[in-house]
Amino acid sequence: MAAAAGTIPEENLAGDGPTAEAEAKASSALPGPRPLRPELTRLEVQRYSRQLVLPELGVRGQLRLAGSSVLVVGCGGLGCPLAQYLAAAGVGRLGLVDHDVVELNNLHRQVLHRESRLGSSKAQSAASALRELNSTVECVPYEASLSPSNALQLVRAYDIVADCSDNVPTRYLVNDACVLAGKPLVSASALRFEGQLVVYNYLGGPCYRCLFPKPPPPETVTNCADGGVLGVVPGILGSLQALEVLKIASGIGTGLNRAMLLFDALEGKFRQIKLRSRNLDCAVCGDHPSVTGLQDYESFCGSSATDKCRTLHLLTSEERISVEEYKKLLDSQVHHVLVDVRPPVEVDICRLPNSLNVPLSKLEGKDEECLKILCQRIDEVKQRTNDNTTFPVYVVCKLGNDSQKAVRILQRLSHDGLGLISVKDIKGGLMAWASKIDQEFPQY
Q: Which residues are annotated as a binding site for ATP?
A: 77, 98, 105-109, 122, 166-167
As annotated, the binding site for Zn(2+) includes: 207, 210, 282, 285
Count of beta carbons in the 10 Å neighbourhood of residue 61 = 21
Burial class of 29 by CB neighbour count within 10 A (0 to 12, 13 to 18, 19+): middle
Amino acid at 415: H
397 is catalytic: yes
Of the listed 80, 164, 178, 397, which one is catalytic? 397
Q: Distance (Å, rounded) from C-alpha 227 to C-alpha 185?
A: 26
What is the pairing mode between strands 185-191 and 194-200?
antiparallel
Count of beta carbons in the 10 Å neighbourhood of residue 311 = 12
Q: Distance (Å, rounded) from C-alpha 307 to C-alpha 230?
A: 16
As annotated, the binding site includes: 77, 98, 105-109, 122, 166-167, 207, 210, 282, 285
224 is catalytic: yes
Q: Distance (Å, rounded) from C-alpha 308 to C-alpha 226?
A: 9
Of the listed 139, 178, 224, 301, which one is catalytic? 224
- Print burial letters for 124-146: b (CB count within 10 Å at least 16), e (below 16): bbbbbbbeeebeebebbbbeebb
Provide the annotated active-site residues: 224, 397
